[in-house]
Amino acid sequence: MQERTQLSNQIEQVNTLSHETQDAADLVSMAEAEEDQSMVDEAVNQLQNLAKEAKRLEIESLLSGEADRNDCYLEVNSGAGGTEAQDWAEMLLRMYTRWAERHGYKVIFMESTEGEQAGIKSATLQITGLNAYGWLKTEAGVHRLVRISPFDSAKRRHTSFASVWVYPVIDDSIDIEINEADLKIDTYRASGAGGQHINKTESAIRITHVPTGIIVACQTDRSQHRNRATAMEMLKARLYELELQKREEQAAQTEAAKTDIGWGHQIRSYVLAPYQLVKDLRTEVDKTNPDAVLDGDLDDFMAAALALRVGATRSEASAQAS
């Protein structure tokens, strides 16, 4: 039933796009016959928007990975640089939250470690919706920010780094076996704003998978048992994502990018001063409105990265077939 609903939605999207394109084309013909230039301009603008939507649907149709349709966890970690990097990590967290909300995805806060003065050291979100992992997996990597620091009284320019890692939520059809002896489990008090809502018991859970070094944490519930169960699901998802990476031909590059949250490893640069530019270093796509990007306008970057990834996979498959 779930697959049927997804296919039905895809067919409806294509049919709607086809009808709206025909309506816009008819409007152009009518406007030209009446010599109404404003109507022509309106119809042309509508056609341009429809072309963008068609491109998005075309790329989305290429989401054929094993877990592309799944929900996902998105994890943000600040790099070296103290308050600057922690503030940048929080900006990225907001950016992805806004992107998810724009696309009708549900966002669930899983855990967060606050910075000493501002921002966050790390945080994890669960993003729920069709193709959430397929789109967001292109965002995994190191993100670089250049700006005039609001924390520097001398108003100097600072460069900050933060990493984003994305892994799919796995369903019940996938069995992941975990040896309890490989786990290190810690409890701690959940962070909060204080007052009557502060968690006074050590209900938050942090699990370390010793063989891989993977760490997950959950503090969404006041129940330690429920947090532990959720953290175990997150760990299974991380281990599954690790296995998926091993199967992809880009696994070596992905792992290399995770070695350091700093120079030489970034996938995208966000420059707010002395000029304004956001540039993806993999696809060369850039935008001159960083405010819009930081407010969740990421579709062009994701589409280009996904098309590049799909193209590389097809080239590899052709080479192997030859």
Q: What is the pLDDT of residues 264-288, one digit of tens each?
A: 568 999 999 999 999 999 999 999 9
Task: In whole angstroms, give the CA distance from residue 29 to residue 61.
Answer: 31
Tokens of 66: 């094993």
Average pLDDT, the chain: 84
User: What is the second-level CATH architecture of the domain 72-316?
Assistant: 2-Layer Sandwich (3.30)
Query: For the chain, where are the alpha helices, taking DSSP H only?
Result: 2-34, 37-60, 83-102, 132-136, 224-247, 251-257, 290-294, 299-321
Residues 6+ apart with CB under 8 A from 259: 265
The whole-number pLDDT of residue 9 equals: 83
Percent helix, strand, coil in the chain, to 5, is: 45, 25, 30
Q: Give the whole-angstrom CA distance, residue 242 versus residue 192.
A: 31
3-state secondary structure at position 193 = coil
Asked if residue 240 lies in contact with residue 67, where contact means CB atoms within 8 angstroms, the answer is yes
The upper half-sphere exposure of residue 46, i.e. CA atoms within 13 Å in the direction of its Cβ, equals 18
Could you tell me the pTM of the whole model? 0.71
Q: Where exactly are the structural domains of the chain? A: 2-60, 72-316
For residue 222, how many other CB atoms are within 10 A of its CB?
13
Confidence band (pLDDT; 50, 70, 90) for 123?
A: very high
Q: Which residue has the tokens 């404003």?
A: 38
- pLDDT, tens digit, for every residue of 222-248? 888 889 889 988 898 888 888 777 766
What confidence tens digit (pLDDT) does each residue in 52-82 have?
888 878 877 778 777 888 899 999 999 977 8
Dihedral of CA 182/66/18/13: which sign? negative
